Structure 1
Amino acid sequence: MAEPTGRASVPGAPATHGSGRKHVAVREYVSDLVARELDVGDAIPSERALSERFGVARMTVRQAVDALVADGILVREQGRGTFVAPRRVDFEMRLTTFGEEMRRRGMRPDSKVLAADKVPAPADVAEALGIQPGRLVHYLCRVRYADGTPMSIEQTWVPVALVPDLFEHGAPGSVYEALRRFGLDPAWGEETLAASEADERESALLSMRGRRAVMRAERRTYSESGPCAYSRACYRGDRYSVWVPLGTPTKVLVPRQPAPAEA
């Protein structure tokens, strides 16, 4: 009886059955390496090494690595190679501060203040806060860090008329906590998210090489008396993912129509 044809199995590598499963086996192997042996910033085996180990084409290896890059497990650096990516932080849609979210994840938050001053409100900021353009607002711009790594650039505007002494003792560590001390408890908010590329300044402040994707968040915060803060944040796309809880749609109740009157 003739022996079956095909490649011999590779010691230490999962068996592959059909071209549709080959890239899956490579992906699972590399993913397991990341979980068990490699640290953040470590290089993964080269495409050539993985191709020889699994007995597959380099295009198949590239397909597997592409999937792990898309999942945020690996990161490619042009001219250098492919490395284990930093752990992503889920960006939960809640009315909380950066510091609260990082501490909830067991990370140490920190900030670098780039600007803290009273400035005339630009037209778009004034519209968001429901005030006249040119009225004074507190402007705070910070780089936000988690465990020493820059994560986001955050700009916040608060009407001076609401909180005249917001910067009396320097920039507050938490704008929300400062608002609460002045009797303006943030009650609810609305946020818009968008994706774009970082500009050169943002890339430098966030320690990103080259032009990289960022997630932009625009938030308007309300107290019981109306808008109390407006902010824009730029988050590293390689360190954040968005987490949104979903529920089933609420049943729409249609008022019962009165029966037509008889003729």
Structure 2
Amino acid sequence: MDLRFSIDRNSPVPLYFQLSQQLEAAIEQGKLLPGTRLGNEIDLAGRLGLSRPTVRQAIQALVDKGLLVRRRGVGTQVVHSQVRRPLELSSLYEDLEAAGQRPATRVLDVATVPAPAEVAAALGIAEGAETQRIERLRLTHGEPIAHMRNYLPRELYDFDRDDLEATGLYRLMRAAGTALHSAHQSIGARAATAAEAQLLAEPPGAPLLSMRRTAFDDTGRAVEYGSHLYRASRYTFELQLLIRP
């Protein structure tokens, strides 16, 4: 691990917290990749001029967050970074890209299908009308983070696998002339089925975040309906709350 950390002993912020924050930032920015060994606490403490209990506390804070793991005979290793996503009308691909998370896409299926009742109601089209159904697995640093299924009005879009593997869906929609304006979104949680767990590299029954979204263009027309599942161990939504006047 060849990183430099800045510890300010005159700051009111506890030393362990300064170190844990900088380690967490290095993990999120991809400077410390999954599998990276941090070395033992004695070496790290000596290199930083900190006490061993301070270093231990910093590491434990990240172990508690699921970013580091202690393994007997191996030492402390980076597990993965936690993706924090603001609740706004943006694509997961672009959010990951902006955060330096190295997004990639595995396209599982692209097909023209009749709209199920739920999809038809969301898109404001007749049940059975043609839609393009897109099913993808989103990865970051080579690990799966989300399973995404999207339905698009067939008369508006015709994306192929190469398009979808190269970039995010909203970027493709904008390139096709869509001015995205707003969305209605609901968030929930449930346990992973065996098939979902296998796709997302989680044990069966693991907690997953679910999200359903209908996106609208600047004319108010529904242009996309998505049903997504995210690994709760890797992913959080962030909200800013304001007091109503």
- TM-score > 0.5 by shorter chain: yes
Q: Mind listing any 5+ residue stretches in structure 2 that lack a counterpart?
A: 1-15, 25-31, 41-52, 54-59
Q: Residue 102 of structure 2 aligns with which residue? A: 108
Alpha-carbon distance change, 136 to 88 in structure 1, aligned in 2, over 3 angstroms: same
SS of 2:96's equivalent?
Answer: helix
Q: Is the 8 A contact 2:123 2:225 kept in 1?
A: yes
Q: Residue 61 of structure 1 aligns with which residue? A: none
One of 165, 180, 184 as aligned partner of 1:186: 180
In the TM superposition, residue 98 of structure 1 has moved relative to its aligned partner by 1.5
Q: Distance in 2 between matches of 1:187 and 1:39?
A: 36
Q: Distance in 1 between matches of 2:215 and 2:103?
A: 21
One of 202, 211, 231 as aligned partner of 2:226: 231
The answer to whether the aligner puts 1:209 opposite 2:169 as a matched pair is no
- Alpha-carbon displacement from aligned partner over 1:151-204 (angstroms, at most 9, x marks no partner): 1001110011233xx236855333222222232211111211111111111111
Q: Distance in 2 between matches of 1:233 and 1:184?
A: 21
Alpha-carbon distance change, 39 to 117 in structure 1, aligned in 2, over 3 angstroms: closer
Q: Percent identity?
A: 28
Q: Is the 8 A contact 1:123 1:133 kept in 2?
A: yes
Q: Distance in 1 between matches of 2:174 and 2:67?
A: 39
Between 1 and 2, higher relative CO (CA 8 Å, sep ≥ 6) is seen in 2
One of 159, 184, 205 as aligned partner of 1:167: 159
Q: Is the 8 A contact 2:94 2:168 kept in 1?
A: no
Q: Residue 48 of structure 2 aligns with which residue? A: none
One of 118, 137, 141 as aligned partner of 2:131: 137
Alpha-carbon distance change, 109 to 168 in structure 1, aligned in 2, over 3 angstroms: closer
Q: Residue 242 of structure 1 aligns with which residue? A: 237
Q: Is the 8 A contact 2:110 2:161 kept in 1?
A: no
Aligned pair count? 198
SS of 1:187's equivalent?
Answer: strand
Q: Distance in 2 between matches of 1:140 and 1:242?
A: 23
Q: Is the 8 A contact 1:116 1:171 kept in 2?
A: no
| Pairing of 1:147-158 with structure 2 (within 5 A) | 147-158=141-152
What TM-score results when the alignment is normalised by the length of structure 2?
0.68
SS of 1:184's equivalent?
Answer: coil
Letter paired with 1:242: F
What TM-score results when the alignment is normalised by the length of structure 1?
0.64
Q: Residue 95 of structure 1 aligns with which residue? A: 89
One of 68, 83, 86 as aligned partner of 2:80: 86
Letter paired with 2:186: T
SS of 2:90's equivalent?
Answer: coil
Letter paired with 2:242: G
Alpha-carbon distance change, 243 to 134 in structure 1, aligned in 2, over 3 angstroms: same
In the TM superposition, residue 240 of structure 1 has moved relative to its aligned partner by 0.9
In the TM superposition, residue 91 of structure 1 has moved relative to its aligned partner by 2.0
Alpha-carbon distance change, 70 to 241 in structure 1, aligned in 2, over 3 angstroms: farther
The answer to whether the aligner puts 1:125 opposite 2:116 as a matched pair is no
In the TM superposition, residue 206 of structure 1 has moved relative to its aligned partner by 1.1
- Alpha-carbon displacement from aligned partner over 1:68-108 (angstroms, at most 9, x marks no partner): 7764456799xxxx986422110210111121111111111
Q: Is the 8 A contact 1:116 1:140 kept in 2?
A: yes
Q: Distance in 2 between matches of 1:135 and 1:170?
A: 25
- Alpha-carbon displacement from aligned partner over 1:95-150 (angstroms, at most 9, x marks no partner): 11121111111111111111101100000011110111100001100000111111
In the TM superposition, residue 39 of structure 1 has moved relative to its aligned partner by 8.3
